Chains A and B, each alone.
Chain A
Amino acid sequence: MSRGTAARSPLGALTGAMFKGFVRDRMTLFWAVAFPLMFLVLFGGVFTGQDEAPKVDVVQVGAVPVLDDLPAAARDSIGEGLDVEKRPGLDAALDSLREGDVDAVVTQDGDDVTLHFSQADQVKAAQVRGLFQAVVQIADQAASGQAPRFTLSTEQVEDDSLEQIQYVTPSLLGWAVAMSATFGAAANLVAWRVSGLLRRLRLAPIRTSSVVLARVGVSVVIAGVQAAIFIGLGVGAFGLKLTGWWPLIVPLLLFGTLSFLSIGMLAGAVSRTEEGAVGLANFVVLPMAFLSGSFFPLDGAPTWLRAVSSCLPLKHLNDGMLDVMVRGQGPSALLVPIAVLLAFTVVLSAVAARVFRWEA
């Protein structure tokens, strides 16, 4: 029996079989990869665009010296928020305003500047009024011939902390890894038990640990692929900026996968059907994702909720991911997350091993 290629190790064979079973299942692939990615595109791409205030469209009827004679510097800064279009007739312009095609109409008669606006869009109404207050003040000041006494500098707080994409990429990645590790282990275990494959493997000369290690291997590879896609898309398409210690996500992915595998193993051990196992995994992981701030930060949540949150493994996985990927923290930020994840792994795998059944 020496023909053909040499035999792979039992561990390698089991890993290969599990991996093929995974990638050939479109449904699992969708839930593990496409579904979390949809959330990343949704939170990262679509919602990020709303952070910058949109420009207001203003129609200028006739000569408006306060605008036309605006100093160059002021024109640049105000022009960022303003799109000015000149039209001849006032009545036609006001009609466009009522229909919502433009946001304001401005005229000037001597020293009186008149701004017509619509309250239909309150945000833009406030914006355009504020802008023209500034325009008139600048013109006033220029007319008085005095240098300004006070200056105002503005700084956006988000630049120093986290923009939307900076927050959602690490947190959604934590959720994606947790979900696919839990579901993969639970569904796999139950499917093999129901089909009788587990009993068949029990009679083969392999160690029980090989079956578990194969699952660990497959899930770690899946987590790696998820991380690569998330980071690639985040950096490439949504302007994610990683800080120097980001490669430290590797140990986090490993321990996070282990922790959620043991949750999945437990769910798989107590479930009789594959549907039951997936349902149970969902029941555990989905609320945990909300409570761990995977979808939105919990800064505004009540104290008791944050206390619950800090008992969950996903919270610590998310924290670790945020620390090393975007907060610029070093290896010491890993200590608490890894300790918590490891503790969950040890306790839950011990319980899972106790309630484990070979037979359906």
Chain B
Amino acid sequence: MGAAITVDALVMTYGSLRAVDGVSFDVRPGEFFGLLGPNGAGKTTTLETVEGLRKPDAGSVAIDGYDPWKRQPELQRRIGVQLQSSAFFERLTAREQLVTFASLYGVASGRADELLEQVGLTDKANSPVEKLSGGQAQRLSIACALVHDPEVLFLDEPTAALDPQARRNLWDFLEGLNDSGRTVVLTTHSMEEAEVLCDRVAIIDRGRLLKLDTPQALIRGLDVATRISVVPGLVRPHEARAWPGVADVVESDVALVIETRDPGPVLAALAERDALEGLAVTKGTLEDVFLSLTGREYRA
């Protein structure tokens, strides 16, 4: 189970704009793969070309050797798609929606109830789709993509437009989707989402692929300081400044923040003085990675 995806030197143009400008990457079977970038970076265009909704202007796309642009039932039965807009049959209930999609893929209707339970919509089974909240509609849309248990699942910004709580709930569900060996490809403009969900992340900006690696490796590769913060008043700032490897110390009403490239000795010094109350250690985030790659602040 799980299929491999190969994207090679993909180019997509809209008039004079090169929306995708020579993007190449491979997705391994069973991987949770993220396309990360700000709005308009070319993520959705890339994803839709991989799904088979667009014909590449140059370059090629293959899913397990199939060309997705040629509509082939054998391939279509192996991929599941959740599009950016919730594409539902109007005035059907949540359950009818799933049963209809199941029939399109030749799957028996019992699968609908199973999926409703999985996405937590059993009590909404008989609600028309028009009455679902944003989060519920998004979960139903993903359930529709899973109805035939596909080997590859494409998710286009599944948590966009959701409130933080609904977003976290959806992450809990999405996290397990590649457990059974399914390949998942997701686009997102949320750095946090990519860090939480993805095995590997491709950072895309202005139609180009800037960097591709695991979130951890991307951050580790950064030449940025680690920030260690504790409750203020435990250590005097000028004292901490004298410790080996400390780059900067800032004290505010809420925290004492020590920046260093070598956190080990600093943590030892704090422990020695029994000054670990409220300890938090953060090393760069994907936002920092984006900043260092583009020289611009990340704005979704």
Binding site for B on A (CB under 8 A): 1-10, 12-14, 16-18, 20-21, 24-25, 191, 195-197, 199-206, 358-359
Which residues from chain B contact A2 at a C-beta distance below 8 Å? 108, 110
Which residues from chain B contact A195 at a C-beta distance below 8 Å? 85-88, 90
A195-B88, A200-B87 given as contacts; is B110 within 8 A of A20 (CB)?
Answer: no
A21-B90, A21-B92 given as contacts; is B103 within 8 A of A196 (CB)?
Answer: no
Which residues from chain B contact A12 at a C-beta distance below 8 Å? 103
Q: How far is the CB of A161 from chain B (nearest CB, A)?
A: 46
Contact status A203-B96, CB under 8 Å: no
The residue in chain A whose Cβ has the minimal distance to the Cβ of B78 is A205
Which residues from chain B contact A203 at a C-beta distance below 8 Å? 51-53, 76, 79, 81
Indicate if B65 sits at the interface (CB-CB under 8 A).
no
CA distance A7 to B83 in the complex (A): 24
Contact status B110-A1, CB under 8 Å: yes
Which residues from chain B contact A20 at a C-beta distance below 8 Å? 89, 91-92, 96
Indicate if B105 sits at the interface (CB-CB under 8 A).
yes
Contact status B96-A205, CB under 8 Å: no
Which residues from chain B contact A4 at a C-beta distance below 8 Å? 108-113
In the complex, how many residues of chain B place their beta carbon closer than 8 angstroms to a beta carbon of chain A? 38
How many A-B contacts if CB must be within 8 Å? Answer: 99
Which residues from chain B contact A18 at a C-beta distance below 8 Å? 89
Q: How far is the CB of B132 from chain A (nearest CB, A)?
A: 14
A20-B92, A196-B85, A199-B83 given as contacts; is B105 within 8 A of A204 (CB)?
Answer: yes
Binding site for A on B (CB under 8 A): 51-53, 71, 73, 76-77, 79, 81, 83-92, 96, 99-114, 128, 149
- Contact among B81, B96, B108 with A5 in the assembled complex (CB-CB below 8 Å): B108
* A12, A18, A195, A200 interface centre (most CB from chain B within 10 Å): A200
Q: How far is the CB of B109 from chain A (nearest CB, A)?
A: 4
CA distance A17 to B88 in the complex (A): 10
- Contact among B53, B83, B89 with A21 in the assembled complex (CB-CB below 8 Å): B89
Contact status B92-A7, CB under 8 Å: no
CA distance A6 to B92 in the complex (A): 20
Which residues from chain A contact B113 at a C-beta distance below 8 Å? 4
Contact status A16-B100, CB under 8 Å: yes
Q: How far is the CB of B94 from chain A (nearest CB, A)?
A: 13
A199-B83, A200-B83, A203-B76 given as contacts; is B107 within 8 A of A24 (CB)?
Answer: no
The residue in chain B whose Cβ has the minimal distance to the Cβ of A198 is B87
Contact status B51-A17, CB under 8 Å: no
Which residues from chain A contact B92 at a C-beta distance below 8 Å? 17, 20-21
Contact status A191-B73, CB under 8 Å: no
Contact status B111-A196, CB under 8 Å: no
Contact status B76-A204, CB under 8 Å: yes
* A1, A12, A204, A206 interface centre (most CB from chain B within 10 Å): A204
The residue in chain B whose Cβ has the minimal distance to the Cβ of A204 is B104
